[in-house]
Structure 1
């Protein structure tokens, strides 16, 4: 890949839809050359063509795939947005599906670790690297039926906190953004196995949940702060959501 140091480069994982796609568009608008990494080749190719970016088919749970992404990135990288993740199911612990839990851990925790590990040298080499990992308010407060996803997102938080301590003397910022209710086209649909009615019910009556562009805007702000400013954790929720269990659904 052409390494033109006059233009900063950002990698966005999970860039095929939702927050990832919105973030890729926003960073391109900010002047970054954006590398879109996701499994769905057709989607990231179309988005790359739209924003003048680069698409690299990537499965963050596969070590060889992540290694290929790092090789394509090259020796310098300015921004990594760890967005690939997901929630599967809403079962209580007593009825937990082991495969769902393993899948959530693989993509949310091991995926973040593998991508970060692979490109960390390039981020440090840039002299002012920035990592933003998309967590969730589910990683701050547990709730009934969410234990598997809670555990995965609490894990993401632990990884970022430890990494920040480990690279405290290196020129790289380690940041985390934890969104609350974000109405995207796929998150809840994926969680409920394609059940559109259940997915729609998650946002029923909420006048203004967050949208992907709100999170992209916040990520843009985080990475464009001066290099000495580290936004350790940004919690962002719609006004209607006071807490995971307290949401204004009157509309």
Structure 2
């Protein structure tokens, strides 16, 4: 019989890494709260998993408060996954509105959801896992907005761990490299399928959403005294952010 581990909240659960993580955590014994803006998708996922669907735009304070209320007092795990990249323009041509949206979702949204759920997570000796990116490791051409947002999210992770060092809550980070999902690059390029496909062209076996969900599930289920500060996960073809083998 699968061990019951309490309630896990997964933001950005409507697709990609978020949906895969919700499935993995349900299999690991969590009751999963699937949170995202697209209610039809998370309702279908929650029905599949026997979980709860909560419409939540992490940049909306009222929806974040409702998410915390619906999650309830048995929450032991938060996966801050909502976010994403927009655009690939050089700084000289930057779409600063897109930069603000990336900061709002990847950083402020993660901070807001964490703040709302943190008292319950501390009471339950729980855990927060942030899904960041190797983009936080350093800049690349066209990536200033996204790299900056993910670096700020990493700073949030590091600071939170220091501030809560004497409290019974674990703060972890999973930092993926190249992951091929249906929507990440498509969203980044405003629905341009050709540009989205070019990101992965010739790359043998990029990571999948399930690969990252597997890592998140492993981090989440370590013994209570074990904290995985940061796990960096890349496909074998990606030796570094700028070093990718293409056949």
Give the TM-score range, shorter chain.
Answer: over 0.9
1:97 aligns with 95
Shift, 1:7, TM fit: 4.7
Q: Does 1:205 align with 2:202?
A: yes
| Matched ranges for 1:190-201 at <5 A | 190-201=187-198
SS at match of 2:35: strand
Matches within 5 A, 1:36-115: 36-115=34-113
For residue 171 of structure 1, report the CA deviation from its aligned partner.
Answer: 0.7
Tell me the number of residue pairs that the alignment of Structure 1 and Structure 2 aligns. Answer: 245
Q: Secondary structure at the match of 1:235?
A: strand
> Deviation of residue 119 (structure 1)?
0.1
- Cα RMSD (Å): 1.0
For 2:120, the equivalent position in structure 1 comes to: 122
State the alpha-carbon separation in 2 of the partners of residues 106 and 19 from structure 1: 19
CA deviations over 1:197-226 (Å, ceiling 9, x no partner): 000000000110000000000000001000
Q: Which runs of 5+ in 1 are unaligned?
A: 1-5
State the alpha-carbon separation in 1 of the partners of residues 198 and 112 from structure 2: 34
In structure 2, distance between residues paired with 1:203 and 1:28: 30
Partner of 1:231: 228
Equivalent-residue separation in structure 2 for 1:69 and 1:44 (angstroms) = 13
Aligned with 2:130: secondary structure?
Answer: strand
Q: Which residue of 1 aligns with 2:186?
A: 189
TM-score by length of 2: 0.98
1:94-123 Cα distance to aligned partner (Å, 9 max, x none): 100110000000000000000000000010
Please give the alpha-carbon distance, in whole angstroms, between the structure 1 residues aligned to 2:139 and 2:231: 18
Q: How does 1:1-20 map to 2 (within 5 A)?
A: 7-20=5-18
The answer as to 2:188 corresponding to 1:153 is: no
CA distance in 2, matches of 1:241, 1:7: 35
Please list every run of 5 or more consecutive structure 2 residues that lacks an aligned counterpart in the other structure.
none
Find the residue that maps to 1:81 and give its secondary structure. Answer: strand
Distance of 1:198 and 1:7 partners within structure 2: 41
Structure 1 length-normalised TM = 0.96
